[in-house]
């Protein structure tokens, strides 16, 4: 049974940092493209960043570029999202997803993606 578990969310002041973790069981994350999405109240879910299988090429949406860093630790079967210089507009529930994709990655949700349950990130001004 495949399971993705996010952790690391919390309450932080603007300008602060958090590191989110996405740990998988039932699949080897290095064989999957992994993406982080977020959903703020009343808003649609949006893709934030992704990392490809194998080589680990990365992508960031403009709103987080230079502030967020996605990485993976294959030994721990975990993907991280380091979030620095947080802003109130980063407040959302953050989800990770895993998609079997041999090349590249995408922040567009796919029909066959595996999803975690989400972790709340709240940035106070």
Vertex 83 angle, CA 44 and 33, to 5°: 65
Per residue in 30-79, pLDDT (tens digit) is: 899 999 999 999 999 999 999 999 888 999 999 999 999 999 999 999 99
**Per-residue confidence (pLDDT) for residue 109, from 0 to 100:** 87
At residue 102 the predicted structure's pLDDT band, cuts being 50, 70 and 90, is confident
pLDDT averaged over the chain? 96
Tokens representing 86 are 């947080």
CA–centroid distance for 108 within its chain? 12
Vertex 34 angle, CA 33 and 39, to 5°: 140
Q: Is the pLDDT of residue 112 over 90?
A: no
Q: Which residues, listed in sequence order, are joined to residue 68 by a DSSP beta bridge?
A: 83
């Amino acid at each position: 049974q495949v399971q993705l578990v996010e952790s690391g969310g919390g309450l932080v002041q603007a300008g602060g940092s958090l590191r989110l973790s996405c740990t998988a069981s039932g699949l080897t994350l290095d064989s999957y493209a992994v993406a982080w999405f977020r959903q703020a109240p009343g808003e649609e879910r949006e893709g934030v960043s992704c990392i490809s299988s194998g080589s680990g090429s990365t992508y960031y949406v403009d709103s987080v570029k230079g502030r967020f860093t996605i990485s993976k630790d294959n030994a721990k079967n975990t993907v991280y999202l380091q979030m620095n210089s947080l802003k109130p507009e980063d407040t959302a529930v953050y989800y990770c997803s895993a998609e079997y994709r041999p090349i590249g990655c995408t922040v567009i949700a796919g029909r066959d993606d595996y999803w975690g349950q989400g972790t709340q990130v709240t940035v106070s001004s």
